[in-house]
A = this chain, B = another copy of it.
Amino acid sequence: MPTALPAPFRHRLRVYWEDTDAGGVVFYANYLKFFERARTEWLRAAGVGQQALREATGAIFIVSETSVKYLRPARLDDEIEVSVDVREQGRASMLVAQAAWRGSELLAEGLIRIGCVDAGTFRPTRIPTPILDALA
């Protein structure tokens, strides 16, 4: 049973060896993972488990578009906070603004477009009503 979502939502994570590259910093592609983790925890905070969603409705969220600016490098052991802020909410998709912070330093920011699709066909489908309500 989804509940009202906290806003602004923030998820905290740590930089591990797996996240870094030979430049000594976080590999840029991994910010998409960090953003995804934060969205997952944001959905969980609203009572939405994606595995449960799929089993109950056959629907999954997919990412259809991403744009990210990488502003400052993060390093091993850094603690990072990732924010989630819905900018547009449609019936089958939404646009989410996200940012990664180390304290007051903005490391990366981006816009992520999420769609809801049928897990079998990958055709767009409506976001289930209880989730729409929770996201409202």
Q: Given A66-B66, A66-B68, check contact A32 B33 (CB 8 Å).
A: no
Cross-chain contact of A22 among B22, B30, B64, B68 (Cβ < 8 A): B22
Looking at chain A's contact residues, the main secondary structure is mixed
Cross-chain contact of A75 among B28, B29, B51, B65 (Cβ < 8 A): B51
Tell me whether A21 is interfacial, beta carbon within 8 Å.
yes
Closest to A73 in B: B122
Copies of this chain in its oligomeric complex: 4
Closest to A67 in B: B67
- The answer to whether B17 and A36 touch across the interface, beta carbons within 8 angstroms, is yes
Closest to A38 in B: B16
Interface members, chain A 1-52 (any B CB < 8 Å): 14, 16-18, 20-25, 27-30, 32-33, 36-37, 40-41, 44, 49-52
Q: Which residues of A contact B (CB under 8 A)?
A: 14, 16-18, 20-25, 27-30, 32-33, 36-37, 40-41, 44, 49-52, 60, 62-70, 73, 75-77, 119, 122
- 29 cross-chain CB contacts under 8 A: A14-B40, A16-B33, A16-B36, A17-B21, A17-B23, A17-B27, A17-B36, A17-B50, A18-B21, A20-B21, A20-B22, A22-B23, A22-B24, A24-B24, A28-B32, A29-B29, A29-B33, A29-B36, A44-B77, A49-B77, A50-B76, A51-B75, A52-B77, A62-B70, A64-B70, A65-B67, A65-B68, A66-B66, A66-B68
